[in-house]
Structure 1
């Protein structure tokens, strides 16, 4: 079993108490219940990620901080009720430019994983739309990958008005996104605590390889245009 009920209980109590002292007293529990399972997950995903894109960085120690930066917290709880990891590539673009990533998270409310952008740059979306309208093979493969694994859904904010009325209904779902990604989210504890969770996540994220390649082709196209 990758994660346990005890792990979710730890997140809940740590968030509810919101105490640095309590967290320090239970840091060993944090390492055992949160850090070690995430490290196991990232290690298992490493060969899959490397096969999809050798530029993806898979560091077993790289998971989100459990606490927020107090300078920007505006008086809310410091300790989060969720933890996640994101795996993305080192790209020749600004470190501040959003890039597509694979991710996995757990929270007191459920868990999920997928591939996409935390926030998609407008330039990236414009390039993806151009590829979709041109019938690029990368898009066709991404579209098929999402259709083949029906547990994933396309996410992202949409325009209030359809900007592409002449496009097919399926293409329009992609074209009218302001942000984009594909995700699986669940509140079912039986799935999270299933002994086969690790294998399931590895298999599912591997199936999104063509979705990621479509996103990255857009990023690479943008970079090539700037170099010229």
Structure 2
């Protein structure tokens, strides 16, 4: 069997480092071919190769390798309301979304959020030198969605603990990430055994991918394994939002 070809190379990481140091339209225009060859095309190939194994985890999820309107985020930043006016992201990312959201996805809007961009849980991959990771969950859900998740958690504590407190889950992901409310949300018991989880604003889990892993021929296999491991959280969140998994 021929040896697998790595998706990314040291040139991928070097381009992203250089972009971080030279984040201007003039520099990017002069190096656009490097971006296409070293970052975009390899990432789209990885996304295409992820679709079948992702569907083996859950047939509801889509890894879309379309260059525009697919899973990969645009390199361009939306600076309209940002204090940081640099025009490009010095990282590459992709979200793998629930097919129930497909009808409302608009081309080019993949960077309006990560895993929870349309209030459905999803899988995520982030590539940045020294700070790459993958995982899944729901990020910055709308208030009504967040209320549904919290209420479901209160009513289903055993299934929540089974999904997120197993030894295997904790070994890989540790604690969940994201933001939490500083105060107990109105209507919830401050003494509830899961009050720290009820206070969460995001329900996400991630695992770091070091640069050696990112450049390894078995990157696809490793990502798929982590998506299998985060599956119980995604499954639970789908249940909370009446989505198939």
Q: Secondary structure at the match of 2:176?
A: strand
Counterpart of 1:83 (choices 84, 87, 92) is 92
Q: Secondary structure at the match of 2:29?
A: helix
Whole-Å separation in 2 of the counterparts to 1:121 and 1:71: 21
Structure 1 pair 46–179 and aligned structure 2 pair: CA distance change class (3 A): same
Deviations 1:155-184 (A, max 9, x none): 12223245644333xx34422212211111
Preserved contact between residue 124 and residue 218 of structure 1 (Cα < 8 Å): no
The residue aligned with 1:65 is 74
Whole-Å separation in 2 of the counterparts to 1:124 and 1:70: 27
Structure 1 pair 190–46 and aligned structure 2 pair: CA distance change class (3 A): same
Preserved contact between residue 12 and residue 39 of structure 2 (Cα < 8 Å): yes
Q: Secondary structure at the match of 1:102?
A: strand
Preserved contact between residue 156 and residue 178 of structure 1 (Cα < 8 Å): yes
Whole-Å separation in 1 of the counterparts to 2:148 and 2:80: 36
Q: Give the TM-score normalised by the residue count of structure 2.
A: 0.75
The residue aligned with 1:224 is none
User: Structure 1: which 5+ runs fail to align?
Assistant: 222-228
Structure 1 pair 167–137 and aligned structure 2 pair: CA distance change class (3 A): closer
Deviations 1:54-94 (A, max 9, x none): 33232113311112235445562112111100011243697
The residue aligned with 1:182 is 205
Counterpart of 1:122 (choices 143, 153, 156) is 143
Structure 1 pair 143–105 and aligned structure 2 pair: CA distance change class (3 A): same
Structure 1 pair 45–173 and aligned structure 2 pair: CA distance change class (3 A): farther
The residue aligned with 2:213 is 191
Runs of 4+, deviation exceeding 6 Å = 92-96
Deviation at 1:148, TM superposition (A): 1.4
Preserved contact between residue 82 and residue 105 of structure 1 (Cα < 8 Å): yes
1:142 aligned onto 2:163:
yes
Query: Which structure shows the higher helix fraction?
Result: 1
Preserved contact between residue 130 and residue 211 of structure 2 (Cα < 8 Å): no
Q: Give the TM-score normalised by the residue count of structure 1.
A: 0.80
Deviation at 1:129, TM superposition (A): 2.4
The residue aligned with 1:225 is none
Counterpart of 1:167 (choices 170, 173, 192) is 192
1:107 aligned onto 2:128:
yes
1:37 aligned onto 2:54:
no
1:206 aligned onto 2:228:
yes
The residue aligned with 1:154 is 176
